[in-house]
Chain A
Amino acid sequence: MIVFQEASRWYGQIIGLNDVTCTIPTGVTALLGLNGAGKSTMLRMITGQIRATTGTVSVYGQTPFANPEVYKLIGYCPEIDNFYEHMNGFQFVEHLGRLAGYGKTEARERSRRMIERVGMADRAHKKIAGYSKGMRQRVKLAQAMIHDPQAVLLDEPLNGLDPVGRREFMQLLQTFSEDGKTILVSSHILFEVEQMTSNIVLLHRGRLLATGNIGVIRELIDKYPHRIRIATTQAREVATQLAGLPYISNISFERDGLEIQTREPDKFYDYLPSLAVQHGLPIDGFSSPDNNLESVFRYLVTN
């Protein structure tokens, strides 16, 4: 469990993180925000590279700054694309395994396992200098996981990866999360994060905007009605039925159906089946354009 308690971090006169209080639970959590939002600062505070200027950060009950006990529990995959370029992937992972306290044999065995797990077994003995971006990300992940940590922190791990690489990397993270680890992934690419998790920590200009399940967060934004698109060939009939409902605030027609706005989406979803069953209206499909991170982010950041 990672806990921030009124934590702030200043870089001279610039604020990196502003009075953040939140808890990072087990499972995959996405740390979201635009560039400069404070994501890397937050990760550096968790990994004990920097201290909170005010407030506290606690990782499994301990203060992380320069604390080896914390480093036994966490693995960190930094955003930087810098390595000991003269080493090959295996040597790099093994070297950091040795620095994690393992003997030569143990470090080698763990490196072999991790390299295999991240899908680098056939390329591990090539010089890192010749690696592609995707290969470098995998090697970074392997070094972060070599000591089997309880929590893994990944700073913008999908940056620079091609679509295939991103999908593979996300699948890889999913397998780690299935092992019961806490995985905190920072990103500014909302679409990708959405495919990994629904649990988010949203930062903007150093401030914590929202934390928790994206759906729940969306419901909390009651300032904006929830939009739901209904695909139907009988849009007028469906609109007639919906117009009388007290929780529908707006109905607009679209090319292949209609879009409604409601402040009580749960009630609407309860009612929706009856449109088809009781009134015999054809419902070809429905979707909520608001139920994605992009819109949550837009609502929270721009307002």
Chain B
Amino acid sequence: MEAYIFSAALRDMLRPKRLIPWMIVVVLIAVVGAQASNYFEGATAVQKYGLLSSMFVFRLVALASAVFSTAVIAQEVEQKTVVYLLTRPVRRWKILLFRTLASITAVIIICVLCQLCFGALVLGPSKMFGATFLPDLEAIVLGAAAYGGFFVFISLIANKATTICLLYAFGAETMFSNTPGSLIYGSIFGHMSGLAQHPSLPDGNGGALKLLAGSMGDNPIVPSTAVPAMILIAAVFMGIGCFWFSEFEYLPREDAE
């Protein structure tokens, strides 16, 4: 049963109609990234990759998570098909948990594809599996889990969840990452960057792009902090989400008589 909930949700999330636009985004990111890498003088390929990967690939994790997390329950509520899910003989928390895992898997698949394309074009096929590959992969997987858990919870408690999630990911997180102090600990993106440990560009390089990449300030987060933090964020929000979904009612608003 659990396996079916997961596989059915994953199939739905990755059906061609949904996947093709993401594939276009992936290719676009890789091409734009490759073009952008030509503009940094005096920086090594790995340094360029580091900045652009934070700017594009890690941001794609947040974007895809914001979109896919709404497909877990919020979209079903909006389309009113949630009633079919809620009247099946299966515990609600299982529905939420395995659909959330499916959405995280979908995000990971898309973002890893993006990482591969991006690496192939920016670093070249021979260097793409170098020292940055595994930490980036780990950051993508854990980032997708943390964003997934958090955003699914947001989608359970708020309307217009996608907008809220995107505001968090591209507004609050950019601010947290670029602000000196401990605000960065409240940013999943900050933890992903801390885990990836991308090398900085030489001084005077990057300019405003550094702002977008969240690397204006020093990131005090180290991998040994980032890994448990992201696991904790994912687990806590998934746990709260499962509790919330089991205890509260989910009806389309206009259906209330």
Is A40 in contact with B89, judged by CB distance below 8 angstroms?
Answer: no
Is A80 in contact with B80, judged by CB distance below 8 angstroms?
Answer: yes
User: Which of chain A's residues 19-56 have a Cβ closer than 8 Å to chain B?
Assistant: 36, 38, 40-41, 44, 47-51
Q: C-beta contact mask, A50-74 vs B, less than 8 Å → 1, else 0? A: 1100000000000000101101101
Is A14 in contact with B257, judged by CB distance below 8 angstroms?
Answer: yes
Q: How far apart sit A189 and B12, CA to CA, in the bound complex (Å)?
A: 38
Counting CB contacts under 8 A, is A4 at the interface? Answer: no
Is A82 in contact with B79, judged by CB distance below 8 angstroms?
Answer: yes
User: Which of chain B's residues 113-139 have a Cβ closer than 8 Å to chain A?
Assistant: none
Is B251 in contact with A44, judged by CB distance below 8 angstroms?
Answer: yes
Name which of B1-9, B29-37, B183-191, B225-233 contacts chain A: B1-9
Is B80 in contact with A98, judged by CB distance below 8 angstroms?
Answer: no
Residues of A within 8 A of B92 (CB): 66
User: Which of chain B's residues 24-53 have a Cβ closer than 8 Å to chain A?
Assistant: none
Residues of A within 8 A of B251 (CB): 44, 49-50
Residues of A within 8 A of B256 (CB): 11, 14, 16
Is B89 in contact with A69, judged by CB distance below 8 angstroms?
Answer: yes
Counting CB contacts under 8 A, is B203 at the interface? Answer: no
User: Which of chain B's residues 176-231 have a Cβ closer than 8 Å to chain A?
Assistant: none
Q: C-beta contact mask, B245-257 vs A, less than 8 Å → 1, else 0? A: 0110111000111
Q: How many A residues, CB 8 Å from partner?
A: 34
Residues of B within 8 A of A36 (CB): 257
Partner of A71 from B1, B5, B89, B255 at Cβ < 8 Å: B89
Counting CB contacts under 8 A, is A253 at the interface? Answer: no
Counting CB contacts under 8 A, is A137 at the interface? Answer: no
Q: How far apart sit A51 and B247, CA to CA, in the bound complex (Å)?
A: 10
User: Which of chain A's residues 56-108 have a Cβ closer than 8 Å to chain B?
Assistant: 66, 68-69, 71-72, 74, 76, 78, 80, 82-84, 86, 95-96, 98-101
List 8 contacting pairs A-B, 8 Å CB cutoff, sorted by A.
A50-B249, A72-B89, A78-B84, A82-B79, A83-B81, A86-B15, A99-B84, A100-B89
Counting CB contacts under 8 A, is A147 at the interface? Answer: yes
With A99-B4, A101-B1 known to touch, is A49 a contact of B90 (CB < 8 Å)?
no
Count the A-B residue pairs with Cβ separation under 8 angstroms: how many?
Answer: 78
Is B84 in contact with A38, judged by CB distance below 8 angstroms?
Answer: no
Given contact pairs A71-B88, A143-B84, enumerate 4 new A-B contacts (beta carbons under 8 Å).
A49-B251, A86-B15, A98-B4, A99-B84
Is B255 in contact with A40, judged by CB distance below 8 angstroms?
Answer: yes
Residues of A within 8 A of B5 (CB): 99
Partner of B90 from A68, A76, A84, A95 at Cβ < 8 Å: A68
Counting CB contacts under 8 A, is B157 at the interface? Answer: no
A153 to chain B, nearest CB (A): 9
Is B91 in contact with A38, judged by CB distance below 8 angstroms?
Answer: no
Q: How far apart sit A76 and B89, CA to CA, in the bound complex (Å)?
A: 12
Is A47 in contact with B81, judged by CB distance below 8 angstroms?
Answer: no
Is B89 in contact with A95, judged by CB distance below 8 angstroms?
Answer: no
Q: Interface centre among A41, A71, A82, A98, by most B CB within 10 Å?
A: A82
Counting CB contacts under 8 A, is B83 at the interface? Answer: yes
Residues of B within 8 A of A74 (CB): 87
Is A41 in contact with B257, judged by CB distance below 8 angstroms?
Answer: yes
Residues of B within 8 A of A96 (CB): 84, 88
Q: How far apart sit A100 and B91, CA to CA, in the bound complex (Å)?
A: 11
Residues of B within 8 A of A38 (CB): 257
Q: Return the chain B residue nearest A16 by Cβ.
A: B257
Is B246 in contact with A66, judged by CB distance below 8 angstroms?
Answer: yes
Is B85 in contact with A40, judged by CB distance below 8 angstroms?
Answer: no
Q: How far apart sit A95 and B251, CA to CA, in the bound complex (Å)?
A: 21
Which 7 A-B pairs rank lowest in CB-CB distance, beginning with the nearest?
A: A71-B89, A68-B89, A99-B88, A82-B80, A11-B256, A72-B89, A80-B80
Q: Return the chain B residue nearest A96 by Cβ.
A: B84
